[in-house]
Amino acid sequence: MKELIQLNIRHKLFNKGTLSILNNFQLSVLSGDKIAVMGESGVGKTSLLNILGLIDSDYEGEYTLFQDEAKSLTSKQRAVIRNKNIGFVLQENSLIDSLSIEENIKLPLLYTNEPNKKEIEEHFQLITHKMDIEPLLAKKPLECSGGQRSRAAIARAILMKPDIILADEPTASLDEKNKLRVLELLDDINENYGSTIITVTHDRSVADHHDRIIEMERED
Amino acid sequence: MKDLIFFIKRIFLKRWILVLGMLLIIFLANYLTFTASRSLISTYQGNQENKILDQDGLFISNLDPDVEQNFDAITIEETQKVYDYLESHYEYAIDTYGFVADIPNTEDMEVSVRYINEQAYDLRDIKLSEGKQITFQDLNTVKPVLIGAGLAKEYPVGSVIEMIDPVTHQPTKLKVNGILEKNASRSNIYALNSKNYLNYSIYSPIDEEFIKQSSLDLHVNALNDLILLNSSEKEVNHLKDLIQSTTGLTFNFFSQKENDKFFKDYYMNGLQIISMLTLICFIIATGLAIWNTLISIRLMIKDFTVHLLVGLSYPRLRSILYQYFGIVFFISFSLLTIFVSVNRYSAWYRKDAIFATLGILKLIGMDWMALIIVLLIDMIMGIFIVEFMMRKIKKIPISLGVLT
Give the pLDDT band (50/70/90) at residue B400. very low
Name the residue among B188, B198, B267 with its Cα closest to residue B224: B188
C-alpha triplet B276, B33, B187: angle, nearest 5°: 85
* A82–B314 CB contact, under 8 Å: no
β-bridge mates for residue B252, sequence order: B62
Give the pLDDT of residue B401. Answer: 44
* A79–B303 CB contact, under 8 Å: no
| pLDDT tens track for B272-327 | 887 788 788 778 877 877 777 778 777 777 888 888 889 888 898 899 889 989 99
Residues in contact with B242: Cβ distance below 8 Å, sequence separation at least 6, in sequence order:
B82, B85
Does the predicted TM-score (pTM) go above 0.90? Answer: no
Give the pLDDT of residue B4. Answer: 83
- The phi, psi pair for A140, rounded to 5°, reads -90, 150
Contact call for residues B313 and B32 (beta carbons, < 8 A): no
Give the Cα separation of A137 and A155 in Å (integer): 11
Give the Cα separation of B321 and B329 in Å (integer): 12
pLDDT surpasses 90 at B265? no
Average pLDDT, stretch B252-261?
A: 84
pLDDT surpasses 70 at B398? no
Q: Could you tell me which chain B residue has the CA closest to the CA of A96? A: B303
Give the Cα separation of B165 and B214 in Å (integer): 9
Name the helix (H) or strand (E) containing A62: strand A60-65
pLDDT surpasses 70 at B404? no
| pLDDT tens track for B54-81 | 889 999 998 888 888 888 888 999 999 9
DSSP β-ladder status, A196-200 and A34-39: parallel
Instruction: Give the residue, B404 or B236, on which the prediction is more confident.
Output: B236
β-bridge mates for residue B172, sequence order: B163
How far is it between the farthest Cα atoms of chain A?
53
* A111–B312 CB contact, under 8 Å: yes
pLDDT surpasses 80 at B109? yes
Torsion of CA A63, A68, A71, A73, to 10 degrees: -150
Name the residue facing A75 among B3, B6, B314 (closest C-beta).
B314
The answer for A 88-117 residues in CB contact with B (under 8 A) is: 88, 90-91, 93-99, 103, 107-108, 110-112
Q: Where are the domains of chain B?
A: 2-49+260-403, 56-255
* Mean pLDDT score across all residues of chain B: 88
Name the residue among A196, A160, A185 with its Cα closest to residue A37: A196
Give the pLDDT of residue A214. Answer: 94
Class of residue B287 by CB neighbours under 10 A (exposed 0-12, middle 13-18, buried 19+): exposed
Task: Tell me the CA distances in angstroms from A134 to A92, A130, A142, A172, B113, one per residue in order.
Answer: 18, 9, 16, 24, 79
Name the residue facing A82 among B2, B302, B309 (closest C-beta).
B309
Torsion of CA B38, B18, B318, B280, to 10 degrees: 40
Which of B8, B310, B316, B404 would best serve as a mutation to test chain A binding (most A beta carbons within 10 A)?
B310
> Hey, which of A197-201, B191-195, B255-259, B290-294 has the most confident mean pLDDT?
A197-201
Average pLDDT, stretch B344-373?
A: 93
Class of residue A122 by CB neighbours under 10 A (exposed 0-12, middle 13-18, buried 19+): exposed
Enter the ipTM: 0.90
DSSP β-ladder status, B142-147 and B201-206: antiparallel
Which of B4, B309, B313, B400 would best serve as a mutation to test chain A binding (most A beta carbons within 10 A)?
B309
Average pLDDT, stretch B230-238?
A: 92
The tens place of each residue's pLDDT in chain A, 220 residues long, gives 688 899 999 988 877 778 888 889 999 999 999 999 999 888 888 889 889 999 888 899 999 998 899 999 998 999 999 999 999 987 667 888 889 999 999 999 988 877 787 888 888 998 898 888 899 999 999 999 888 898 898 899 989 889 999 998 888 877 888 788 888 888 888 988 889 999 999 899 999 999 999 998 876 6
Hey, which bits of B67-141 come out as E strands?
Answer: 91-93, 95-101, 111-117, 128-131
To the nearest whole angstrom, how far is the Cα of A94 from the nearest Cα of chain B?
A: 6
User: How many beta carbons lie within 10 A of that of residue B133, not counting itself?
Assistant: 12
**% of chain B with per-residue pLDDT over 90:** 52
DSSP β-ladder status, A68-69 and B111-117: unpaired
Name the residue facing B316 among A79, A94, A99 (closest C-beta).
A79
The DSSP code sequence of B285-341 is HHHHHHHHHHHHHHHHHHHHHHHHHTT--HHHHHHHHHHHHHHHHHHHHHHHHHHHH
Give the pLDDT band (50/70/90) at residue B260. confident
**% of chain B with per-residue pLDDT over 70:** 98
Give the pLDDT of residue A184. Answer: 87
Give the Cα separation of A219 and B348 in Å (integer): 80
The DSSP code sequence of A155-189 is HHHHTT--SEEEEESTTTT--HHHHHHHHHHHHHH
Average pLDDT, stretch B332-340?
A: 96
To the nearest whole angstrom, how far is the Cα of A208 from the nearest Cα of chain B?
A: 24
Residues in B touching A21 (Cβ below 8 Å): none
Contact call for residues A99 and A140 (beta carbons, < 8 A): yes
- Chain B residues whose C-beta sits inside 8 Å of any chain A C-beta: 2-3, 6, 10-11, 14, 302-303, 306-316, 397-400, 402-403
